[in-house]
Amino acid sequence: MGIPSSKNGIHLEDIHDHTCLFCAELETTQHLFFDCLVARILWSHLSEMFNVTLGSNLEHTTSFWGHNKRFEVINMTTAGVLWSLWKCQNNLFFRSSSWSSMQVLCHVALRHLRSWTSLCSSAGQGALEHILQQLEGKSVEIPRLLPG
């Protein structure tokens, strides 16, 4: 590997030999949580379910966090998804093709969000469970939604 320089736009802090385990692109925070194929698919499903654009970037995602009463279920879901993306990337076990990574990611997110349901208000719990059921349905469809 060449010496990183500003000439090629690569900075030292980006070079930890971090390659995205889902898609083999360079792993940056923006890539891992938002731009990676598996993240984009998951965010697009969730955006559809909530009828609000989710998963553009960290600023946009955290902009809901200051209004937790109003966006309780969205916030719980986005926190669970971010946590699951991080968790999956940190586990070499999940190095596999995109769509199976996608299924693993969905299952990890579902498992954690279900364990967090009790942290929601009683109204939020029902709404969260409704979203999780939809997500579970989507996770079954995933292999058919992707090419190859």
CB 46 within 8 A of CB 55: yes
Question: Does residue 132 interact with Zn ion by CB under 5 A?
Answer: no
Angstrom CA distances, 19 to 9, 58, 83, 93, 116, stand at 17, 20, 18, 15, 30
Distance CA 103, CA 136 (A): 10
Stretch of 11-19, 36-44, 65-73, 90-98 contacting Zn ion, by CB under 5 A? 36-44
**Binding piece for Zn ion, criterion CB under 5 A, among 4-12, 15-23, 74-82, 131-139:** 15-23
Q: How far apart are CA 86 and CA 137, in angstroms?
A: 23
What is the closest distance, in whole angstroms, from the C-beta atom of residue 86 to Zn ion in the complex?
A: 13
Among 22, 34, 43, 99, binds Zn ion (CB under 5 A): 22
Of the candidates 23, 49, 79, 127, which one interacts with Zn ion according to CB under 5 A? 23
Task: List contacts with Zn ion (CB under 5 A).
Answer: 20, 22-23, 25, 36
